[in-house]
Amino acid sequence: MKNFKRYLVTSALPYANGPIHIGHLAGVYIPSDIYTRFLRMKGVDVISVCGSDEHGVPITLKARKEGVSPQEIVDRYHTINKKAFEDFGIAFDIYSRTSNKVHYDTASEFFKTLYDKGEFTEKSTDQYYDEEAGCFLADRYIMGTCPHCGNENAYGDQCEKCGTSLSPNELINPHSTVSGSKPVLRETLHWYLPLDKYEPWLKKWILEDHKEWKANVYGQCKSWLDQGLQPRAVSRDLDWGVPVPVDGAKGKVLYVWFDAPIGYISATKELTPDWEKYWKDKETKMVHFIGKDNIVFHCIIFPAMLHAEGSYILPENVPANEFLNLENDKISTSRNWAVWLHEYLEDFPGKQDVLRYALCANAPETKDNDFTWKDFQARNNNELVAILGNFVNRTLVLTNNYYDGKVPARGKTDSNDDAVLQEFAKIKENVETSLETYRFREALKEAMNLARLGNKYLADAEPWKVIKTDPERVKTIMNIALQITANLTIICEPFLPFSMTRLRGWINLNELKWSEAGKSDLLKAGHEINKPGLLFEKIEDEEITRQIDKLLATKKANEVAGAKTTPGKNAITFDDFSRIDIRTATILEAEKVPKTTKLLKLKIDTGLDIRTIVSGIAEYYEPDAIIGKQISIVANLEPRKIKGIESQGMILMAEDKDGKLVMVTPATKVSNGSMIK
RNA sequence: UGCGGGGUGGAGCAGUGGUAGCUCGUUGGGCUCAUAACCCAAAGGUCGGAGGUUCGAAUCCUUCCUCCGCUACCA
């Protein structure tokens, strides 16, 4: 493995439109923090940079909704998030932001360099413009009727009802979700980064030179590269962001994904005048910690930008994590389905390490994982308290009881003692190897093995028994137990910095370098220790129940909030209405359409005829259960082929606020083909 | 539809060709210094299904099922 002179660790810039939750922590910031702390302890030159990502459309929309300026929004969340990181001991050297001047200058200059080198291509396109709001609309902010399934709430990029991907101009009756008005097409000029041009270079750099990247990262990159890269726009029509530094580019800003990663550079600039040695010296190892949604940006687009610019180094590794779920459900900011850092600390003051431990032990390193409060409790009670806390406690209590808090001298060791002492170095080695290969879960488990070793040692040596027959021997035993404790303060420091600080206080030990780990004379004979407290406390069921109740309350609140009925539609004439042929019918046969989750193929009696209708209700109705049911249908809807089956009409369903579909059935049985009017 | 990542004892994970491991939980025993914590032992898996390659497969190939992503900058 290549030896580097210094390290540059970056952590994904959190988007400043909401607070930080446990998913962010588990996916990005805990691993990056452990990694950074480990490197610092090794005494290598390392800086860790992060900051708020403060541009982009969602922030402007949030601002518009609240009637404040975008700056106010980002100020709010920048402050909250910066504090949350500090509170959890996430040890960035700098937590910057992309709305500050250094960043504007850096991003602007970066763009200018590429522009001057002729790296960009320019292209004019027609895009939807919202005249009322005075802005261009991203695909996502246009809604309309899906041309395929008739869903009236299809987005400009995709219809969630039938799953087809769309482009905004396919939508029938498009309207802006910003103002509600009908958008118009307007021509606009943008700059593109020709990713296709860098494709061969990227292929070699990733697929050949970085086979060691994590499977999820490498696979994702390979998939993109194999499919062929397209030029990507680097500018947007928006008044919030870094202005495009080119004449005639008024009203245009750098697209967020272009400016955000440059935030790493500007943060470094803000931190140190020596920033260039971290970014431009081949002796620097750069590592990006991110979540899986960011893989493409950090592995393909940003490296392509850096490569095009020419003077920058590239990331050595991009250890992306998968996602963390919460109690079996996706974490969601908008649905408030999350554990927010600031709220956690209100409920569990001083227990940062417990969360750090639980999240690291259960980090989504290879696949999505689930965070449950029960698991959190078990990790705390069965591992932190029972194994680590307990070992420390029994060692310190015994030392205080037997030797009045003075470290006893070690006498002659027996073979078991020697075996234990030799384990130190092995454990240190294991932790180190795991950390260097970004396997944090494993590293943590290895670190805990030191405490396990300690417990076993005490159980085997039984000092509380031996003290009655051979007090000299006990001095050796306790000396060794204390050396294990001292080693713990080093080995566990990257993972549990708050607790290890307390532990060092109890044994009167300064923070030691990583290289001291593995030694068996960290505490000299006669060294005095203090009265210990409890390193970790048991978490009772009631506290866990309270958290779960809190989440259940959120779920309820969401349902109430979601209960808002869809806004009414524009008036139509009676003539419009009478053109629709709605009538009753009875289901004769029903079967699932193979290889689909939602579709049922139904044979129905409409009174006029027997016909086939394909309907997306399979998630709510079992085929067998609905045979014989009377329903309402639109009989004169243009036939459509769905999954190769011609569907002749549509079944009327009432859609509940949670998306649940319910049949519209006549209150009492009527003859098939009865008109509904 | 396609592509990427998963599917291993009750839970969470490791294991990429050679007798299936770890942590937690469970059961039994031991110990009593310790926050009923600790130590020992045991039970528990035909490694998502099917087919194939091989002397031999969780591990390679084919196919199917299933979860999560790639599509709302939400890590």
DSSP character at residue A409: P
C-beta separation of A450 from A488 below 8 A? yes
The owner of tokens 């532990």 is A503
Pairing of strands A252-254, A235-237: antiparallel
Q: Cβ of A79 < 7 Å from strand B?
A: no
A360-416 tens-digit pLDDT: 988 888 888 888 898 899 899 999 999 999 999 999 999 999 999 999 999 999 989
The first and second tokens of residue A397, run together, are 């209590």
Distance A458 CA to B39 C1' (A): 9
Q: In the predicted model, what is the mean pLDDT of residues A337-362?
A: 91
Indicate whether A566 pLDDT > 50: no
Considering Cα of A111, then A117, then A119, then A120, what sign does the dihedral take?
positive
**Taking Cα atoms as reference points, which of A403, A378, A373 lies closest to residue A527?**
A403
Smallest CA–C1' distance to B67, residue: A368
Q: Cβ of A277 < 7 Å from strand B?
A: no
A505-531 tens-digit pLDDT: 999 999 999 999 999 999 999 999 999
The first and second tokens of residue A91, run together, are 């040890």
pLDDT for res A119:
92
Distance A249 CA to B37 C1' (A): 68
Indicate whether A641 pLDDT > 80: no
**Confidence class of residue A559 from pLDDT cuts 50, 70 and 90?**
low
* Rounded Cα gap, residues A432 and A443, in angstroms: 7
pLDDT for res A218:
85
A410-455 tens-digit pLDDT: 999 998 999 999 988 889 998 998 899 888 988 998 899 999 999 9
Distance A386 CA to B27 C1' (A): 20
Q: In the predicted model, what is the mean pLDDT of residues A323-346?
A: 84
pLDDT for res A571:
62
pLDDT for res A165:
55
Indicate whether A659 pLDDT > 60: no
Indicate whether A335 pLDDT > 50: yes
Indicate whether A160 pLDDT > 60: no
Q: Cβ of A446 < 7 Å from strand B?
A: no
Q: Which of A95-109, A175-189, A283-297, A411-425 has the lowest mean pLDDT?
A: A175-189
pLDDT for res A565:
45
pLDDT for res A128:
80
C-beta separation of A289 from A35 below 8 A? yes
Q: Hey, which of A315-319, A361-365, A602-606, A618-622 has the most confident mean pLDDT?
A: A315-319
pLDDT for res A567:
46
pLDDT for res A1:
54
Indicate whether A164 pLDDT > 60: no
* ipTM higher than threshold 0.90: no
Indicate whether A3 pLDDT > 80: yes
Distance A264 CA to B5 C1' (A): 28
Query: Which phi and psi (to 5°) does residue A81 adopt?
Result: -70, -35
Average pLDDT, chain A: 85
Q: Cβ of A65 < 7 Å from strand B?
A: no
pLDDT for res A625:
67
A32-87 tens-digit pLDDT: 999 999 999 999 999 999 999 999 888 888 888 888 999 999 999 999 999 999 99
Distance A345 CA to B32 C1' (A): 36
Contacts of A625 (CB under 8 A, 6+ apart): none
Q: In the predicted model, what is the mean pLDDT of residues A81-108?
A: 94
**Confidence class of residue A588 from pLDDT cuts 50, 70 and 90?**
confident
Distance A323 CA to B68 C1' (A): 9
Q: Cβ of A281 < 7 Å from strand B?
A: no
Indicate whether A241 pLDDT > 80: yes
Decide which of A624 and A401 is more confident: A401
**Taking Cα atoms as reference points, which of A25, A130, A34, A154 lies closest to residue A81?**
A25
Distance A452 CA to B32 C1' (A): 18
pLDDT for res A184:
82
**Confidence class of residue A92 from pLDDT cuts 50, 70 and 90?**
very high
Percentage, residues of chain A above pLDDT 90: 44
Q: Cβ of A452 < 7 Å from strand B?
A: yes
Chain A 606-665 residues whose Cβ is under 7 Å from strand B:
none
Using C1' positions and the CA of A297, the closest nucleotide is: B73
pLDDT for res A563:
46
Q: Cβ of A502 < 7 Å from strand B?
A: no
Angle between helices A415-436 and A30-41 (to 10 degrees): 120
Chain A 293-312 residues whose Cβ is under 7 Å from strand B:
293-294, 296
The first and second tokens of residue A571, run together, are 């008036």
Chain A 25-54 residues whose Cβ is under 7 Å from strand B:
26-28, 53
CA distances from A38 to A184, A233, A243, A378 (A): 55, 39, 39, 26
Smallest CA–C1' distance to B37, residue: A386
Angle between helices A352-361 and A497-506 (to 10 degrees): 130
Q: Cβ of A393 < 7 Å from strand B?
A: yes
A176-207 tens-digit pLDDT: 777 777 888 888 888 999 988 998 899 888 88
Decide which of A361 and A614 is more confident: A361
**Confidence class of residue A159 from pLDDT cuts 50, 70 and 90?**
low
Using C1' positions and the CA of A362, the closest nucleotide is: B12
Q: Hey, which of A4-13, A132-141, A357-366, A569-578 has the most confident mean pLDDT?
A: A4-13
Distance A41 CA to B26 C1' (A): 40
pLDDT for res A516:
96
Q: Cβ of A544 < 7 Å from strand B?
A: no
